[in-house]
Amino acid sequence: MTSLDEQRALVAQGCRVAAARGLVDGILGHLSLRVDDEHLLVRCRSDTDTGVAFTRPGDIRLLTLDGRAGAGGELDGYRVPNELPIHVETLLANPRHRAVAHLHPPAVVAADLAGIAIRPIYGAYDIPGAWLARGGVPVYERAVLIRTPALGKEMVAAMRGRPVVICRGHGITSAGATVQQAVLQAISLDALARMSLRVKGAGGTLRDIDDTDWDDLPDLGPSFTAEAAWRHEVARLPAD
């Protein structure tokens, strides 16, 4: 495969992982990967689309940052996502971000609507998730379809430089250096939301872990927190 073919396959795989984790349902949600200064790969929709869980490399199309076909035939039979500005504005705002996942995890949406802020309520249960929450998870408070550059810029401003943002009444945007990072962050955010809802549902009180615990919650390295974690997520996918 060419490098572009490999990148299409990775974005498609990321879509399927997100769906397998329940972070998207049906036909809503999309992932992207920036390939150079002028182009990105993004999941597009066709008239035969059967949903994010069934994304294949051919559904990942090469576009310019202004939404045009990035090469001949790239948009034949495919439509650009309405919310392409989510991806473009997030990528343009931070050069370290090369991948963007816009997903609709019900637990995160429900927790936010219930007034539950995502906080570091646990530690070694999920160390990357704990650190993600410690840095803060901002909220974009408009429940709109983010289909214009102006709205995309509003969402990015609400993101405040953090890697994830909750879009109230809508979903989340997760940005990372890789597709794997963007999706794994979303999985951790969803786990925090689910645990928060369970604790509150059991009548408990959400409390941050003790400050003294952070020194013993080390970065276990990418071979564990990213590579091994991603192998697991791929292994969980239904067989073709």
Residue-wise pLDDT for 62-96, tens only, equals 999 999 999 999 999 999 999 999 999 999 999 99
Q: Please answer whether residues 118 and 196 qualify as being in contact, where contact means their C-beta atoms are separated by less than 8 angstroms.
A: yes
- Assigned token pair, 200: 């509150």
CB contact at 8 A, 60 and 43: yes
pLDDT at 13 over 70: yes
**pTM as predicted:** 0.96
Per-residue pLDDT band at 122 (split at 50, 70, 90): very high
Indicate the pLDDT class of residue 1, thresholds 50, 70 and 90.
Answer: low
Pinpoint the alpha helices (H) of the chain: 3-20, 84-93, 106-113, 127-134, 149-159, 179-201, 222, 229-235
d(CA 142, CA 152): 11
Q: What is the pLDDT of residues 91-121, one digit of tens each?
A: 999 999 999 999 999 999 999 999 999 999 9
Contact 28, 37 (CB under 8 A): no
**What are 228-238's pLDDT values in tens digits?**
999 999 999 98
**Is 74 tagged catalytic?**
no
Determine the Cα–Cα distance for residues 153 and 149; give it in Å rounded to an integer: 6
Average pLDDT, integer, range 24-43: 96
Q: Give the per-residue pLDDT at 51.
A: 96
The residue from 6, 38, 74, 83 that is catalytic is: 83
For 189-204, what is each residue's pLDDT tens digit?
999 999 999 999 999 9
Q: How many residues does the chain have?
A: 240
Superfamily (CATH) of domain 3-236: Class II aldolase/adducin N-terminal domain (3.40.225.10)
Using CA atoms, how far apart are residues 233 and 201, in angstroms rounded to an integer?
Answer: 28
- What mean pLDDT do residues 122-141 have? 97
